[in-house]
Amino acid sequence: MAQARLDDDDYIIGTDDIEVQRLGQQHAIWQETALAAWRRAGIRPGMTVMDVGAGPGYASFDLARMVGPQGRVIAIDQSAHFLAALKAGARERGLDNISCVEADLADIDWASLSCDLAWTRWCLCFVPGVDTVLAGINRALRPGGRFLAQEYVDYRSFRIEPAEPVFERFLKAVRESWVHFGGDPDIGRRLPGLAADLGWQVEDMRPVIHATRPGEWMWTWPTAWLEQSPNRLSELGFLDAGDVEPFRDFIARRTADPASLLITPMVLEFSARKPGPA
């Protein structure tokens, strides 16, 4: 299959209105996990927090409330469509402490930014040159500042059981698409080493994984993406077009079977601190 190129402001998963809505559902499901991570990392009123790969801003909105009117959120994303949704959402919520940076992470003047904490979730797994991006984030972090991430550490742990061959082909296509565009579906494994290279002190690491069944809220998180991603993977040339409908049928049958089991891909919650006084 011939594999397509992405536009400069596009993502593998897409940036259309359907994806904006899906990301809202995703953040709602993972909001409690994010809030707990932010509390552990010491986010408090008055801080400046960078949301790296902010998308349409659902995490940015919560962060803006957490740092309060005297604090600031710097939302970074390459998608103009996502940032337009973010700005509209901030206005609707009466949040005026969010500023946006529209740029590819490889093109940012990191030294012009300054923050107490940099947060990212499911962003670095899509980014080429993660070491360069983290070096840039290091320049933006104030002495004693923290880096906090929730990133996949073992994507192969993603399971829907009973599985079928079409599910294995789908997972293979997902991994190949990320690698083709310079990403790493297991980027969490590299974070301790990358942090050590920057002289950061690792403060906390913990796995986040869920087991869920049809009818539970967590089940809807990956299945919302699974319903729309086969067409995208086929369009980009990673999944055979003949697998699109059989895969959707597999997901529909598993969702209709109360004995089905879904295990979410393992995420690593990773926190590290830049040397210096806080």
Domain assignment present for 10: no
Q: How many domains does the chain fold into?
A: 1
pLDDT tens over the chain, length 278 residues: 444 544 444 444 556 677 888 777 888 999 999 999 999 999 999 999 999 999 999 999 999 999 999 999 999 999 999 999 999 999 999 999 999 999 999 999 999 999 999 999 999 999 999 999 999 999 999 999 999 999 999 999 999 999 999 999 999 999 999 999 999 999 999 999 999 999 999 999 999 999 999 999 999 988 878 888 899 899 999 999 999 999 999 999 999 999 999 999 999 999 999 999 86
- 263: exposed, middle or buried (Cβ count in 10 Å: 0-12, 13-18, 19+): middle
CATH number of the domain that residue 161 is part of: 3.40.50.150
Domain assignment present for 65: yes
Taking CA atoms, 10 is separated from 55, 59, 62, 206, in Å, by 11, 20, 25, 31
Task: Give me the amino acid identity at 269.
Answer: E
Looking at residue 12, what is its pLDDT?
A: 46
Rounded to a whole number, what is the distance in angstroms from the first to the last CA of the chain?
A: 52
Looking at residue 277, what is its pLDDT?
A: 84
Looking at residue 14, what is its pLDDT?
A: 55
DSSP letter assigned to residue 76? E
Domain assignment present for 3: no
Domain assignment present for 103: yes
Domain of residue 192 covers: 17-273
Q: What does the block give as tokens for 152?
A: 């996949």
Domain assignment present for 2: no
What is the reported pTM? 0.91
**Ramachandran angles phi, psi of 87, nearest 5°:** -65, -40
Number of other CB atoms surrounding residue 256 within 10 Å: 9
The Cα 226–Cα 215 span in angstroms is 16
Looking at residue 102, what is its pLDDT?
A: 96
Domain assignment present for 139: yes
Domain assignment present for 12: no
Residues in the chain, overall count: 278
